[in-house]
Structure 1
């Protein structure tokens, strides 16, 4: 699957710390799309991941997807129908849990200017996030697999770091 086949409004979903924001920025640069990071819309800037009021987040989300050219990363499944209605392509990152845990620890300890980071916040290791990645990810994988089968858009499922690297290479993208 190439970026051309995915079109100009691309959704990226997958487990926490699977590389969604990094890929969204790479696709945005390669295709001239606007990157939209749902974590930045959902959480208040300059906080330690404090959520916005739900109606405010939904309004920001719905306004963001009205643009003609975007790549959006994040799950927030309750708003997925609006995204899929306007999307032209879909990417599912389905990396192993061990990869997500490694990436989470690495970004918290070593990455200062992480793509998709919350403005005014520096990530720190949180046990609830580690628990979420190691526990909830398994259940979410089943849900994502079912959802992926039901999506009727050009789509690609990338289930390993090797598959992700090949997708970057084939599409001339860089991290």
Structure 2
């Protein structure tokens, strides 16, 4: 893991990126609860509520994302590369998560089958296993961690990079974040 900078040094507009099922939404919720910063889950802006992850029209998603980025403070989790340069230019700090693809696949199964009301889920909580998502977790998002780390370095932001679940748990401990599921 990179050096753990104080959470406050990441500022009031924090981006959280990384491969699917690495813990971005859960971390965003914990940071939001700890700091009072509003949490924006890009998956919720990209997909229509009360659907099984059906995307919005692209123009609507871009409009919603830009409106969220214009606000003074946020913790924003998600990748979505179309506006990533704008998001990084507006951000004051970044966190990039990574983890073993097999563990992320197990998380995908668990959250889809058993955790309907989880951080970042869509309103309506409809979800089903999708072969396309399984393939994405195993193959498509395999190198996203290194790609996002490179982009954050070039953006010259204060950052934290994690490489596994142990690093992520350490981040929760060091920043005294509420644990997932804690009230």
**TM-score normalised by the chain length of structure 2:** 0.91
Residue of 109, 116, 140 corresponding to 1:105: 109
1:73 aligns with 2:77: yes
C-alpha distance after superposition, 1:36-59 (max 9, x if no partner) = 000000111111111111111111
Determine helix, strand or coil for the equivalent of 1:125.
Answer: coil
Is the contact made by 1:107 and 1:123 (CA closer than 8 Å) also made in structure 2?
Answer: no
2:133 is the counterpart of 1:129: yes
Structure 1: distance between partners of 2:135 and 2:68: 31
Aligned positions of 1:2-151 closer than 5 A: 2-151=6-155
Alpha-carbon separation, structure 1, partners of 2:70 and 2:149: 27
Q: Distance in 1 between matches of 2:131 and 2:29?
A: 27
RMSD: 1.2
Secondary structure at the counterpart of residue 138 of structure 1: coil
- Using the alignment, how far apart are the partners of 1:96 and 1:151 within structure 2? 26
Alignment partner of 2:141: what SS?
A: helix
- Structure 1 residue 148: Cα displacement: 3.3
Is 1:163 the counterpart of 2:167? The answer is yes
Farther-moved stretch of structure 1 (46-55 vs 23-32): 46-55
Residue 95 of structure 1 deviates from its aligned partner by 1.1
- Larger deviation: 133-142 or 80-89? 133-142
Q: 1:145 & 1:8 partners in 2: Cα distance? A: 20
Question: Structure 1 CA distance, aligned partners of 2:95 and 2:48?
Answer: 26
- Residue 177 (structure 2) aligns with: 173
Q: Gapped runs of 5+ residues in structure 2? A: none
TM-score (ref. length: structure 1): 0.95
Shift of 1:138: 2.1
User: Runs of 5+ in structure 1 lacking a partner?
Assistant: none
